Amino acid sequence: MSQLIAAGLPVLYNRQQIAARVAELGAQITRDIGDEKLVLVGVLKGAAPFLADLSRHIDVDATFDFVAVSSYGKGQRSSGAVKMIKDLDQSIEGKNVLIVEDILDTGITLSYLRKLFLQQKPKSLRIAALLDKPSRRIEKIEADYVGFSIPDLFVIGYGMDFAERYRNLPDICLMPPENVESK
């Protein structure tokens, strides 16, 4: 079904490229964490596929938690205001925490989460972003682990959406500008 949905969409990264890079990131995180425990905090909804795949390549004792925040609504540009929709279910005090995000764009959402989580005094706090768009950065923040750095393109697939659609595409595709403007 996803091939039918994606028919005609330009592919930026195919599923094989994504899988290979996610495996590399998992190995790097494993080396960095050592024999410590880790809490993976997925930023819903977009990071769910990335977190699932990444976690299978991290060879440490790890647990999952999730937050849901919004700064986009139904559009393609950040509103600039972050709204917490779902907070953590567990305390992260004294724990090694890895925020797992699909895309680091303006930095507004991750800056908000980093400040919020640092108030809870984790042992360490790192960020993994599948995609990084440094040209769009408003807040000064960098990810510790980045899958791919991309120019200012609107992407869908592998968890990333347009108005809640296309998250199930296995590849990261470019959304043609005429499709974005016509919605």
pLDDT digits (tens, 9 = 90+) for 82-107: 889 999 999 999 999 999 999 999 99
* From 105, 132, 161, 171, the catalytic residue: 105
Answer whether CATH 3.40.50.2020 is correct for domain 15-153.
Answer: yes
Q: What percent of the chain is predicted at pLDDT more than 70? A: 88
Give the lowest-confidence range in 9-13, 158-162, 175-179.
175-179
Question: Is the distance from CB of 76 to CB of 177 less than 8 angstroms?
Answer: no
Report pLDDT for 133. 97
Report pLDDT for 4. 45
What number is the average pLDDT over the span 51-74?
90
Q: Give the whole-angstrom CA distance, residue 145 versus residue 141.
A: 12
Among this protein's residues, is 53 annotated catalytic?
no
Burial 143-152 (b: 16+ CB within 10 A, else e): bbbbbbebee
Question: Is the distance from CB of 12 to CB of 172 less than 8 angstroms?
Answer: yes
**Residue 1's pLDDT band (cuts 50, 70, 90):** very low
